[in-house]
Structure 1
Amino acid sequence: MNSTAGMGVLVSRVVLGIVFFIHGLMKYQGGIENTMGFFDSLGIPGYMAYPVGGLEIIGGVCMVLGLGTRIFAAIFSIIMITAIGFAKLAMGFAGYELELILLAMSLHLLLAGSHFWALDRVFSNQAPPSTTSQ
């Protein structure tokens, strides 16, 4: 991967991590009971608000750091598919466009992984990314 493409992945990873971190935080700050009620109204067990919010917070931080990028990208993909299918699809495109973008970003990171400024590279003994242009 050339340096320009790697920097693009870095930008996507950091932005996705920040968005999920804030969404997870909002689930708890707004009163997790409200999120539980919303989940229940969708037919999703209310207690799922706890792990979803927690995964968004922890996964968001890890995504920014580039730690477990593919794992959290897969988890975020599942969360977005569920959100689109259960809550947003009936609203039409305007109702699920953000979730679709977040799903696309998550799938991209799931496939591309993380290279620049990522702890994944440190723990996997990968060589530093090439900076040659292709």
Structure 2
Amino acid sequence: MLQNHLIGALILRIFLGITFFIHGLTKFQGGIENTVGFFQSLGLPGFAAYVVAIIELVGGLAMILGIGTRVVAGIFALIMLGAIVKVKLAAGFLGNGQMAGYEFDLALLAMSLYFVVAKESFFSLDQKFSQQN
């Protein structure tokens, strides 16, 4: 019988992957140039928008499948930390009426950190490959 924490981690991993995948997809569908402009308005290089969008898109898919889970989660954590510090921190935890706060970003950061330290990821390709060794 499956342990409850493994099922919970599976749900969490899939939700995290879907969330990042959709955010990456939206950046491209909405016109990546808008995201480039936003990054530049923050003092970040425009190419960073492409890097983040690709990481979210490809990393989200990898997280869903459980490929490179720890590495992808670590990169997600860095992205969320950057988003909180560079964009959302000034708006506060719940936002300031003009901009959303960092509560959602913090939740994604916490989920990502869970997978950085987790021992195993149930129903993942990582688990499948590690069992063959």
Do the two structures share a fold, i.e. TM-score over 0.5?
yes
Say which of 106, 112, 119 aligns to 1:106.
112
Aligned to 1:124: 130
Higher RCO, 1 vs 2 (CA within 8 Å, ≥6 residues apart): 1
Alpha-carbon offset, residue 126 of structure 1: 6.4
Matched AA of 2:22: I
Work out the CA distance in 2 between the residues paired with 1:116 and 1:35: 34
Aligned residues: 126
Quote the Cα distance in structure 2 between the aligned partners of 1:126 and 1:44: 43
Counterpart check, 1:25 vs 2:31: no
Q: For 1:25, give the aligned amino acid.
A: L
CA distance in 2: counterparts of 1:66 and 1:42, whole angstroms: 33
Amino acid paired to 2:80: M
Rounded Cα–Cα distance in structure 1 between residues aligned with 2:23 and 2:65: 17
Structure 1 pair 15–69 and aligned structure 2 pair: CA distance change class (3 A): same
TM-score between the two structures when normalised by the length of structure 1: 0.90
Q: Please tell me whether residue 61 in structure 1 is matched to residue 61 in structure 2.
A: yes
Taking the aligned partners of 2:45 and 2:85, their CA distance within structure 1 comes to 15
Structure 1 gaps of 5+ residues are: 128-134
- Shift in Å at residue 121 of structure 1? 1.1
Task: Give yes or no for contact 1:67–1:120 (8 Å, CA) kept in 2.
Answer: yes
Contact 1:35/1:49 (CA < 8 Å) preserved in 2? yes
For 2:41 and 2:119, the matched residues in 1 are separated by: 35
> TM (normalized to structure 2)?
0.90
Runs of 4+ in 1 over 4 A off after TM superposition: none
SS of residue paired to 2:102:
helix
DSSP-derived class of the 1:93 partner: coil
The Cα offsets for residues 56-80 of structure 1, whole Å up to 9 and x where unpaired, read as: 0001001011111001000000000
Which consecutive unaligned segments of at least 5 residues does structure 2 have? Answer: 95-100
CA distance in 1, matches of 2:77, 2:106: 10
